[in-house]
Amino acid sequence: MKTMTNRKIAYVSITEWNKKVMRWIWISIALVLVIQVLLFIFYQPVPGCSREEYWQTFIVRPSIMIVLEAVCMELIFRFLGNLLGERVVTVLFILMQFVLLGTVVAVHSSVSYMCMILTYPVIFANVYREKFFRYVAFAMCIFVYASITYGLIPSTEFQPDNSREVYLVIFVGFTLVAFSFSKVLTSVVVNFEQENQKIHEEKEKILEIAQRDSMTGLYNHKMFYDKLNEQLQKCNEEYHLSLIIIDIDNFKKINDTFGHAIGDNVILKIVSLIQENIEEEDIAARYGGEEFGLILAGKGEMEAYTVAERIRRAVEETSVEGVTGKITISLGMIEVHPKDKNGILLFKEVDEALYEAKQTGKNKTVCRGWRKGKDNEYAYCNFGSSGIKKDV
């Protein structure tokens, strides 16, 4: 959210908001001048006030005052901001709005509902976060109206007879000013929604970065367990779930022989092969330095074993510039028992399968899973180091 100071006291920048208000004031002044000219056209001279006197009293003098007051607001806004600070300038800005609008009300005191324009700054003040500004606007609204009502602020002594045409012109003018007023507030709402969307997107990006491994872009260690626990809640007899752990064979030797930069390239190459061989609903994570975890959603042991072997063969057949000899990986996998909801124990089980793969020659997939036995109970089964399924 944009702000001119460290203290955020508005939904939008105070300077930006005051600029919008100032623009609305100049538009409103233009509308007021047009309305006053129209009222002059409809005015019928009487013994107490000629057309020339009406022109001077209701149009020329108040118009000059209103423009001068608006110029003062512009000067305060443009040149005193840095000197007095935004808080003081904003209070002065609110007070000057009432001076300007109070002039209009005092001049046209014969129109009973003209005083309602004094409520505009009160509504404008709601854009500010601090209640203080709303209280200032509320107090000034009552003070200015009471001052005009009780003569503390002089109003026009002549009370012309207002025809239906006059009231229609004034009502249309009120409507146009309210319309321009709503446009200003709409721009604030749009601005706030845009800023809010930016904040939301930035938050999502930060959250995404926090969930990802910086080098590979895969989920990190923590997210691996978070995603695993989410999937475990879904796992049942209809919704299968399998877990795979991948480890790069002899990775320390690769780093020591060819350098860490080449080792990083090996990791990135294997990550790309993993991503090419899994589906969109599957979850890949960098579990450790050269270890990767896969959560295969909706896949039983045979489907998962096929994926594991496809990745293993792809790595075995690939080459990385700067590395001589074959790059291989070892994999351990397990199909999740529908009743097993403990991610840590599951990982321990699949890690033992990976350990078996490493200890029995590497470059292989050792698979452990669950299947229904003859008595409809779940029995433990194992593909073993040869990849051939056997009962335990």
For 212-226, b/e burial (b = at least 16 CB within 10 A) is bbeebebbbeebbbb
Burial string for 268-287 (b: 16+ CB within 10 Å, else e) reads: ebbbebbeebbeeebbbbbb
pLDDT over 80 at 73, yes or no:
yes
Tell me how far apart the alpha carbons of residues 124 and 180 are, in angstroms, rounded to a whole number. 13
29-38, 165-174, 267-276, 297-306: the lowest-pLDDT one: 165-174
Q: Which amino acid is at 294?
A: L
Q: For 93-118, how does the pLDDT look when each residue is reduced to its tens digit (9 = 90+)? A: 888 888 888 888 888 777 777 888 88
166 band by pLDDT with thresholds 50, 70 and 90: confident
Mean pLDDT calculated for residue range 252-269: 93
Contact between 184 and 23 (Cβ < 8 Å): yes
DSSP-derived secondary structure for 2-42: --SSSS--BSS-HHHHHHHHHHHHHHHHHHHHHHHHHHHHH
pLDDT greater than 50 at residue 3? no
Residue range 30-58: mean pLDDT, rounded:
83
Per-residue DSSP letters for 191-239? Answer: HHHHHHHHHHHHHHHHHHHHHB-TTT-SB-HHHHHHHHHHHHHH-SSSS
Neighbours of 131 (CB within 10 A): 11
122, pLDDT greater than 60: yes
Contacts for 111 with CB less than 8 Å, ≥ 6 apart: 162, 167, 170
Q: What is the mean pLDDT of residues 309-338?
A: 91
Whether 313 shows a pLDDT value over 90: the answer reads: yes
Residue 137 in tokens: 């606007």
- In the sheet that holds 329-335, the strands lie side by side as 283-286, 291-297, 241-248, 329-335, 365-372, 378-382, 390-391
Q: Residue 388's pLDDT is what?
A: 47
Alpha-carbon distance values, 343 to 65, 93, 129, 159, 242 (Å): 76, 61, 46, 85, 12
Give yes or no for residue 6 having a pLDDT over 60. no
**What pLDDT is attached to residue 260?**
92
Q: Which is higher by pLDDT, 376 or 183?
A: 183
Residue 170 has pLDDT above 90, yes or no: no
Predicted pLDDT at 208: 75
CA distance 341 to 305: 21
Angle between the N-to-C axes of helices 61-79 and 14-42, in degrees from 0 to 180, rounded to the nearest 10: 170
In terms of residues, how long is the chain? 392
Q: Please state the rounded mean pLDDT for residues 279-294.
A: 91
Q: Is the pLDDT of residue 144 over 50?
A: yes
Mean pLDDT of 210-229: 88
Contact 381, 391 (CB under 8 A): yes
Q: Which residues contact 309 (CB under 8 A, 6 or more apart)?
A: 365, 387
**What is the average pLDDT score of the chain?**
81
Strand 241-248 versus strand 283-286 pairing type:
unpaired
- Which pLDDT value is given to residue 362? 92
Q: What is the pLDDT of residue 50?
A: 86
Average of per-residue pLDDT across 290-302? 90
Given a cut of 90, whether residue 175 has pLDDT beyond it is no
0.85 cut: is pTM over it?
A: no
pLDDT computed for residue 212 by the predictor:
87
Percentage above 90 pLDDT, the chain: 23
* Residue 10, beta-bridge partner list: 128
Over 50: is that where the pLDDT of 374 sits?
no
Q: Which residue has the higher pLDDT, 194 or 331?
A: 331
**Radius of gyration over every alpha carbon of the chain, rounded to an integer in angstroms:** 38
- Mean pLDDT within 44-64: 85
Query: Is the Cβ–Cβ distance between 99 and 75 less than 8 Å?
Result: no
At 12 the pLDDT is 58
